[in-house]
């Protein structure tokens, strides 16, 4: 791997440069003590490099690093040697492999902390090493993090301790992920990347000040991007784009679409870049289209995106599965916004009404209770469409014709263009039929279209989230409660329920209650 060679070359540099200051200091005082520790550190380090069995020396080095805070000099040496050790370890892939068992889990987290600290030290002490550290050591860290198996804990640690705390870490993380995701990756890796990115902090507002003092490592004075919100956003945008361009599974695509407006969109300085992804998703059809709608709507609304055939596409989304989908409420909320304009052509609105009423014939009650008030609102804002409820034929000949042959439904259900379906010439017999729905409440709601339109509008939100479970519970309640009214009992006890009991009395013809069941089934 090229990264390994990078880091090893840097390592060499580091060792060289540490040599110089230490030789100077040695001349001042406490030469013996210092050289002793130094040699000890070096010895330990060599041992670690030599074999796995000396890995305990890492702990020793750590204690040395932590123990004498007062003595500045040896710390540096220890740190440097630790840096070398971990770099080597990481290069060997030990870090990611060691996460296999629980005991090593702690070591991994410690390793992460240490390497981060190491990185900080390196950046602060070596001039010019800045960019090389970020693109070298930090890149290794990110890669190890992403590829670590069962690395949930480390990643969580990384996110909470570093990414959310320090803005520069976040900046560089975005940059590295953008790099990393530029090549095609496996699906599970993508999953990790998406979760990492979406867990990053909220996007900073435009008036947010990037505080250089709060950075994790000393900032590179040349890197201007690091100091502006725009630069940060740019990195995030790159990272997201890299992910969106990568191969995504259907589920990932849906997940991304679901977080699009709230999580991804704010990071984008140029949301137009999302356009391709969104339109692709929208054209895909099915649930993906439904989910892409909100993102697309955001672009249309905010960025003046021109989406030709938007309504045609929206119309095509109204298919048989829509009302049974779990995104039904979400879709209806959006549909309510899209059709809210009173400037839409009545033919188009009529098509939507007709299509919805067709779908209502096969819809669960929870969907019907949304559709009818929605329709009511549409009728209220587009009075031209009310012909669908009430059409008097003035033409005498035509009326006679209808009287003779019946009224042919002019609606063309197969027409894709909502402005050409002729729906406005049709009637909503479907809703009229639903007025005899088996559920009394649904039937009552369906009846609102044949009553006077006195109410200004129905609040759609009240009708959206009903379910079978809720309806059953509404009828039955959760516990035993006395009935408000004595239930009526069928006045006649049937002669037979399952069997052919006393059939000969009725002359062998089975009629009366329950004859269907006995006709279809054989109870014996």
Partner 1 sequence: MPPSQLKQLKASLRETGVLGPQQSKKQKRQNAKSGVGAQNRNQRNAALQAIRDRFNPFEIRPTATRSKFETTTRDDAKSTKATGRRPGVTKSLGEERRRTTLLQEMNSRNKVGGLVDRRFGENDPTMTPEERAAERFARESQKKMRKESMFNLEEDEEEFQLTHMGQSLTLDGTAVDDFDGGDLGGAESDNDEEAPRKRKRVGEDDEDDEDFIDFGEDGEAQPERKKSKAEVMKEVIAKSKFHKAERQQAKEDDDDLREELDKELPDLFAALRGIKAPAKPEPPKQDLDTMNPERAAMLREPEGKDSEKEYDQRLKQLTFDKRSKPTDRTKTEEEKVEEEAQRLKKLEEDRQRRMRGEQLSDEEEEQESDKDSFFQGEGDEESEVDDAAAFGLHTQSYEPRPELAVEDEDDFVIDDDLVETRSNVSLSVDESDMEEEEVSGEEDGEESDEEDELINGMTLPTAGSATTSTAVQVNQTADGKLAFTYPCPENHEEFLEIIENVSGQDLPTVIQRIRALHHPRLHPDNKAKLGRFAEILVEHVAYMANELAEPSFSIIENILRHVHSLAKTHPINVAMAFRARLREISEDRPLSLLPGDLVVLTGVSTVFPTSDHFHSVTTPAHLCLARFLGQCSLNGVSDFVTGAFASSLCLQYQSVAKRYMPEFINYTLNALCNLAPLDMPAKHLAFPLRKAQQSVKLAPTKKVMSRKLQFRDVKTVPSDAQAQEDLKFSLISLYVSLLDTASDLWADKSAFIEIFTPIHSVLTHIRQCFKNKLFAAGRDHVQATIDKIDSHLAQSRLARRPLLLHNHRPLAIKSAIPKFEENFNPDKHYDPDRERAENNRLKAEYKREKKGAMRELRKDASFIAREKLREKKERDAEYEKKYKRLIAEIQSEEGRAANEYEREKRERAGKR
Q: Which is nearer to partner 1, 240 or 315 (CB)?
A: 315
Q: Which is nearer to partner 1, 28 or 489 (CB)?
A: 489
Question: Do residues 290 and 331 make contact, with C-beta atoms less than 8 angstroms apart?
Answer: yes
Least separation in angstroms between CB 521 and partner 1: 6
Indicate if the alpha-carbon torsion angle 340, 343, 344, 347 is positive or negative.
Answer: positive
Q: Which of 413, 291, 297 is nearest to 356 (CA)?
A: 413
CA 433 to CA 378: how far, in whole Å?
A: 20
Least separation in angstroms between CB 374 and partner 1: 12
Q: Which is nearer to partner 1, 205 or 440 (CB)?
A: 440
How far is CA 238 from its chain centroid? 18
Least separation in angstroms between CB 291 and partner 1: 12
Q: What is the DSSP letter of 137?
A: I
466-481 burial code (b ≥16 CB/10 A, e <16): beeeebeeeeeeeeee
| C-beta atoms surrounding 13 within 10 Å | 13
Q: Which is nearer to partner 1, 487 or 507 (CB)?
A: 487
Least separation in angstroms between CB 218 and partner 1: 50
Q: Which is nearer to partner 1, 46 or 468 (CB)?
A: 468
CA 132 to CA 11: how far, in whole Å?
A: 11
CA distances from 372 to 3, 421, 434, 446 (A): 63, 20, 10, 6
CA 71 to CA 36: how far, in whole Å?
A: 14
CA 353 to CA 357: how far, in whole Å?
A: 6
Least separation in angstroms between CB 194 and partner 1: 19
CA 95 to CA 154: how far, in whole Å?
A: 11
Q: Which is nearer to partner 1, 47 or 325 (CB)?
A: 325
CA 316 to CA 352: how far, in whole Å?
A: 10
| C-beta atoms surrounding 36 within 10 Å | 12
Least separation in angstroms between CB 407 and partner 1: 5
Q: Which is nearer to partner 1, 11 or 437 (CB)?
A: 437
Least separation in angstroms between CB 494 and partner 1: 5
Alpha carbon dihedral 383, 387, 390, 396, in 10-degree steps, equals 140
Q: Which is nearer to partner 1, 162 or 331 (CB)?
A: 331
Q: Which is nearer to partner 1, 352 or 463 (CB)?
A: 463
Q: Which is nearer to partner 1, 209 or 520 (CB)?
A: 520
Question: Do residues 325 and 287 make contact, with C-beta atoms less than 8 angstroms apart?
Answer: yes
Q: Which is nearer to partner 1, 20 or 493 (CB)?
A: 493
Question: Do residues 453 and 381 make contact, with C-beta atoms less than 8 angstroms apart?
Answer: no
Q: Which of 285, 278, 291 is nearest to 244 (CA)?
A: 278
Q: Which is nearer to partner 1, 186 or 326 (CB)?
A: 326
| C-beta atoms surrounding 244 within 10 Å | 21
Least separation in angstroms between CB 446 and partner 1: 10
Least separation in angstroms between CB 380 and partner 1: 13
Least separation in angstroms between CB 256 and partner 1: 17
343-360 burial code (b ≥16 CB/10 A, e <16): ebebbbbbbbbbbbbbbb
Question: Do residues 518 and 503 make contact, with C-beta atoms less than 8 angstroms apart?
Answer: no
Which position has the token pair 């200091």?
Answer: 25
Q: Which is nearer to partner 1, 165 or 408 (CB)?
A: 408
CA 287 to CA 89: how far, in whole Å?
A: 46
Least separation in angstroms between CB 492 and partner 1: 8
Q: Which of 179, 262, 271 is nearest to 233 (CA)?
A: 271
Least separation in angstroms between CB 261 and partner 1: 21
Least separation in angstroms between CB 375 and partner 1: 13
- Kindly state the tokens that stand for 329: 């409420």
């Amino acid at each position: 791997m090229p990264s390994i060679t990078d880091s090893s070359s840097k390592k060499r540099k580091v060792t060289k440069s540490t040599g110089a200051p230490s030789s100077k200091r040695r001349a001042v005082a406490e030469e013996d003590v210092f050289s002793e520790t130094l040699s000890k550190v070096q010895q330990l380090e060599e041992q670690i490099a030599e074999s796995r069995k000396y890995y305990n020396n890492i702990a020793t080095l750590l204690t040395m690093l932590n123990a004498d805070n007062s003595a500045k000099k040896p710390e540096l040496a220890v740190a440097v040697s630790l840096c070398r050790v971990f770099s080597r370890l990481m290069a060997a892939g030990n870090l990611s492999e060691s996460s296999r068992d629980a005991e090593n889990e702690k070591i991994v987290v410690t390793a992460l902390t240490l390497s981060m600290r190491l990185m900080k030290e390196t950046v602060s002490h070596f001039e010019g090493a800045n960019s090389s550290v970020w693109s070298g050591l930090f890149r290794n860290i990110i890669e190890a993090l992403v590829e670590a198996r069962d690395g949930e804990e480390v990643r969580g640690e990384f996110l909470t301790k570093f990414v959310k705390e320090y803005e520069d870490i976040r900046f560089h993380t975005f940059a590295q992920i953008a790099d990393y995701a530029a090549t095609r990756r496996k699906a599970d890796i993508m999953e990790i990347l998406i979760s990492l990115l979406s867990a990053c902090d909220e996007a900073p507002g435009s008036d947010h000040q990037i505080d250089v003092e709060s950075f994790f490592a000393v900032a590179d004075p040349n890197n201007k991007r690091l100091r502006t919100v725009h630069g940060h956003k740019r990195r995030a945008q790159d990272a997201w784009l890299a992910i969106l361009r990568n191969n995504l599974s259907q589920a990932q695509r849906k997940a991304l679409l679901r977080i699009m407006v709230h999580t991804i969109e704010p990071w984008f300085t140029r949301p137009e870049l999302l356009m391709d992804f969104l339109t692709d998703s929208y054209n895909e059809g099915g649930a993906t289209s439904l989910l892409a709608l909100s993102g697309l709507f955001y672009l249309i609304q905010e960025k003046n995106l021109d989406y030709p055939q938007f309504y045609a596409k929206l119309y095509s989304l109204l298919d048989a599965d829509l009302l049974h989908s779990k995104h039904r409420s979400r879709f209806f909320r959006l549909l309510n916004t899209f059709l809210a304009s009173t400037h839409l052509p009545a033919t188009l609105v009529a098509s939507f009404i007709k299509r919805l009423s067709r779908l209502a014939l096969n819809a669960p009650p929870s969907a019907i209770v949304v559709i009818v008030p929605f329709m009511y609102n549409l009728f209220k804002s587009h009075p031209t469409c009310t012909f669908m409820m009430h059409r008097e034929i003035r033409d005498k000949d035509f009326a006679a014709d209808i009287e003779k042959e019946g009224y042919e439904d002019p609606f063309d259900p197969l027409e894709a263009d909502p402005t050409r379906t002729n729906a406005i010439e049709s009637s909503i017999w479907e809703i009229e039929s639903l007025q005899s729905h088996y559920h009394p409440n649904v039937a009552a709601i369906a009846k609102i279209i044949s009553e006077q339109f006195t109410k200004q509008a129905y609040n759609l939100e009240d009708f959206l989230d009903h379910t079978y479970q809720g309806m059953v519970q509404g009828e039955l309640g959760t516990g035993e409660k006395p009935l408000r009214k004595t239930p009526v009992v069928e006045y006649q006890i049937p002669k037979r329920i399952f069997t052919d009991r006393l059939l000969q009395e009725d002359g062998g013809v089975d009629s009366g209650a329950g004859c269907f069941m006995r006709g279809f089934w054989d109870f014996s």
